[in-house]
Chains A and B, each alone.
Chain A
Amino acid sequence: MLLKILLRNAFRHKLRTVLTICGIAVAIMAFGLLRTVVSAWYAGVEASSANRLITRNATSLVFPLPLAYKDKIRSIEGVTLVSYGNWFGGVYITERNFFANFAIEPRVYLEQYPEYVLSGQEKEAFLRDRRGCIAGANLARRFNWKVGDNITLKGTIFPGDWELVLRGIYRGREDNIDENQFFFHWDYLNESLRKTQPGRADQVGFYVITIAHAQEAAMISDRIDALFRNSFAETHTETEKAFQLGFVSLSEAILTAIRLISLVVIAIIMAVAANTMGMSVRERLGEYAVLKTLGFGNLYVSLIILGESLVIALLGGLMGMAGTFPASQMVGRAVGDYFPVFMVTRQTLCLAFSAALLVGVVASLFPMWRASTVPVAEGLRRVG
């Protein structure tokens, strides 16, 4: 009976209820979308492995490190694999076609990143061909690339036209793996530099280090950096997660603003829902007084109000959560260059659901208090 009353009460004033549900749906969708933007910012961090360290020049990432460091790093106890690479920064045809592209030492690098899934055949073809390259599935789709296509990158940091052949298209093992990256052989870059800019040859932008035990990350990082202390190129080693967080922290102010806006959206809709519930309860104080007259306690009356509020808020919330998916797809397509992984995460859905739940509970607090405290005799006077 309680369920019957609260469900029927929720739709007594159809227009008001539908408008409130729509408002909550839009707010929850906006909240979900904003949280998805935040998640997209952290996608690289989330995809990081606890077993991988990144070593870069202690002064700045733009300064290189000697290739000779590789064997010294490899010799440190606890280190199992070492690869290296450079941010290449090339553009495809025009500068508008921006995407992340790296020159890497491919054999070990692909071993270190098993989350980039390539077929055995494509992997072999890539490793065999010095001018070979691989691209993520999203990137290949974006430019309609097929395996075997010739791709020319215009170098910005390393000037010139770089002729490459697409040997494979990788897919992410999980949904949160970036499929918008592009990799080619570091050797190809280095050989060319030896001829054109010998001063820049045999230098790498970063080392990727795999360690046997994640809990030794801090100790091994210290050992690596100690090894090159007081050298002309001192190193800074950190976990891959910390390395990625370093990029995210550059945008911390924007992220804080987005988080705040998402909370403001919820606060506004909370006020709207509270107003709806307030109006409904004010109109029904007489009915609640009748229930209390018949012997129903404040708890029963409060449950009816809370239930009605939750029905409205959760219906709106579920609609908003459902709407977040197409909205995120649309936004993801528009901002794909900046956010390679733009997907609604389970955490975002949980937050959106919790926000809807919170809206329902908070919106019913004052009306519950009001209905509970109005004396029965006074409530009965409101009928008629």
Chain B
Amino acid sequence: MKGGDMSLVEIRNVSKSYTKGDQSISVLENIDLSIERKEFIALMGPSGSGKSTLLNLIAGLDSVDSGVISVDGLDISSLSQADLARWRALHVGFIFQFYNLIPVLTAFENVELPLLLTGLRKKQRREHALTALQLVSLEDRMDHYPRQLSGGQQQRVAIARAVVTDPTLLVADEPTGDLDRVSAEEVLQLMERLSVHLGKTVIMVTHDPRAARKAHRMQFLDKGVLADAPEDTLTECL
């Protein structure tokens, strides 16, 4: 069942807990959330509130204890690890706080990396990777290694890597968390463009109210449940 008018991401009654020693720690409890196509949503909340865990579950990096997560009509909570890996390769782009580029590969090679799983020929891979680098205005730095780029440039390369396979969903975990103000602004504008102009659905975990301001919608998590945002947070985000 592929959704035409349906939300892109449907989260129904999802719970997740971790065990530490013989203790079970509940991280998410009965979460219900829908995210529309082309929506740019910010997940906020204090440290340990479960936002990164929720993001990992939506992106298929972790599995739910109970409940269902479906993306574009596909119940990803029922997929095997191998199927999840294939699904991620085609449908999800990842942007991390610490960029997570492979240090032994150049900017171009980092962007080309996800395309190895798509079956494209070398020439096509090259064209796609160059287009993605042009999108983030870094085509002139394609032969630079991550250590030769600034934090902001590395994050832009990471964004190029995230979009190079043209995924439906972009997930970003504190994308501006390690950047200075100017670089953070550049990255946020880029993400806004991806949502508005390229129609990507963006889910961003952030502590930064300035980052949240760029989103269409904000969801607040507290102690593993969806909650109303505190007044001061709301004020900062407006």
Considering the complex, give the chain B residue whose CB is closest to the CB of A1: B116
State which of A4, A8, A292, A383 has its C-beta within 8 Å of the C-beta of B96: A383
Interface centre among A1, A292, A295, A384 (most CB of B within 10 A): A295
A264 to chain B, nearest CB (A): 35
Task: Given A377-B56, A380-B61, decide whether A292 and B85 contact each other with a Cβ distance below 8 A.
Answer: yes
Work out how many contacts link A and B, with CB atoms closer than 8 A: 68
B126 to chain A, nearest CB (A): 12
> What are the interface flags for B76-88 relative to A under an 8 Å C-beta threshold, 1 for contact and 0 otherwise?
0000001001101
Are A294 and B61 in contact, CB atoms less than 8 angstroms apart? no
A296 to B56, CA, bound (A): 17
A375 to chain B, nearest CB (A): 7
Measured between beta carbons, the chain B residues less than 8 angstroms from A294 are 88-89, 94, 113-114, 117, 161
Task: Given A287-B102, A383-B96, decide whether A1 and B56 contact each other with a Cβ distance below 8 A.
Answer: no
Are A297 and B85 in contact, CB atoms less than 8 angstroms apart? yes
Stretch at the interface among B104-112, B131-139, B192-200, B224-232: B104-112
Interface pairs (10), CB distance under 8 Å: A1-B112, A9-B104, A287-B100, A290-B100, A290-B102, A292-B85, A293-B61, A295-B114, A377-B53, A377-B62
Measured between beta carbons, the chain B residues less than 8 angstroms from A377 are 53, 56, 61-62
Are B90 and A295 in contact, CB atoms less than 8 angstroms apart? yes
Considering the complex, give the chain A residue whose CB is closest to the CB of B104: A8
A200 close to B (CB within 8 Å): no
A81 close to B (CB within 8 Å): no
A4 to B97, CA, bound (A): 26
Measured between beta carbons, the chain B residues less than 8 angstroms from A295 are 85-86, 88-90, 114, 117
Task: Given A1-B112, A377-B61, decide whether A293 and B102 contact each other with a Cβ distance below 8 A.
Answer: no
A9 to B105, CA, bound (A): 10
Measured between beta carbons, the chain A residues less than 8 angstroms from B97 are 384
A115 to chain B, nearest CB (A): 55
A380 to B88, CA, bound (A): 15
Scan residues 104-134 of chain A and give those whose CB is less than 8 A from a CB of chain B: none
A333 close to B (CB within 8 Å): no
A286 close to B (CB within 8 Å): yes
Interface centre among A4, A292, A380 (most CB of B within 10 A): A380
> What are the interface flags for A292-317 relative to B under an 8 Å C-beta threshold, 1 for contact and 0 otherwise?
11111100000000000000000000
Are A380 and B100 in contact, CB atoms less than 8 angstroms apart? yes
Say which size band chain A's interface belongs to: 20 to 34
> What are the interface flags for A343-384 relative to B under an 8 Å C-beta threshold, 1 for contact and 0 otherwise?
000000000000000000000000000000001110010011
A226 close to B (CB within 8 Å): no
Are B82 and A1 in contact, CB atoms less than 8 angstroms apart? no
A141 close to B (CB within 8 Å): no
Chain A facing B: main interface SS: helix
Are A375 and B62 in contact, CB atoms less than 8 angstroms apart? yes
B102 to chain A, nearest CB (A): 6
A384 to B154, CA, bound (A): 14
Measured between beta carbons, the chain B residues less than 8 angstroms from A376 are 56, 61-62
Are B113 and A1 in contact, CB atoms less than 8 angstroms apart? yes
B163 to chain A, nearest CB (A): 13
A5 close to B (CB within 8 Å): yes
Interface centre among A4, A291, A293, A297 (most CB of B within 10 A): A293
A16 close to B (CB within 8 Å): no
Measured between beta carbons, the chain A residues less than 8 angstroms from B103 are 12, 287
Measured between beta carbons, the chain B residues less than 8 angstroms from A383 are 96, 98, 100
Are B109 and A1 in contact, CB atoms less than 8 angstroms apart? yes
Scan residues 17-70 of chain B and give those whose CB is less than 8 A from a CB of chain A: 53, 56, 59, 61-62
Interface centre among B53, B100, B105, B114 (most CB of A within 10 A): B100
Considering the complex, give the chain A residue whose CB is closest to the CB of B57: A377
B145 to chain A, nearest CB (A): 10
Considering the complex, give the chain B residue whose CB is closest to the CB of A295: B89
A293 to B114, CA, bound (A): 10
Considering the complex, give the chain B residue whose CB is closest to the CB of A287: B102
> What are the interface flags for A26-50 relative to B under an 8 Å C-beta threshold, 1 for contact and 0 otherwise?
0000000000000000000000000
Measured between beta carbons, the chain A residues less than 8 angstroms from B102 are 5, 287, 290-291
Scan residues 139-159 of chain A and give those whose CB is less than 8 A from a CB of chain B: none
Q: Which 8 A-B pairs have the closest CB atoms?
A: A295-B89, A8-B104, A384-B98, A290-B100, A377-B62, A376-B61, A295-B88, A377-B56
Interface centre among B59, B86, B102 (most CB of A within 10 A): B102
> What are the interface flags for A272-299 relative to B under an 8 Å C-beta threshold, 1 for contact and 0 otherwise?
0000000000000011001111111100
Measured between beta carbons, the chain A residues less than 8 angstroms from B117 are 294-296
A5 to B89, CA, bound (A): 19
State which of A8, A287, A297 has its C-beta within 8 Å of the C-beta of B82: A297
B19 to chain A, nearest CB (A): 13
B160 to chain A, nearest CB (A): 13
Measured between beta carbons, the chain B residues less than 8 angstroms from A297 are 82, 85
B61 to chain A, nearest CB (A): 5
Considering the complex, give the chain B residue whose CB is closest to the CB of A288: B102
Measured between beta carbons, the chain B residues less than 8 angstroms from A12 are 103-104
A295 to chain B, nearest CB (A): 3
Measured between beta carbons, the chain A residues less than 8 angstroms from B98 are 383-384
A377 to B112, CA, bound (A): 23
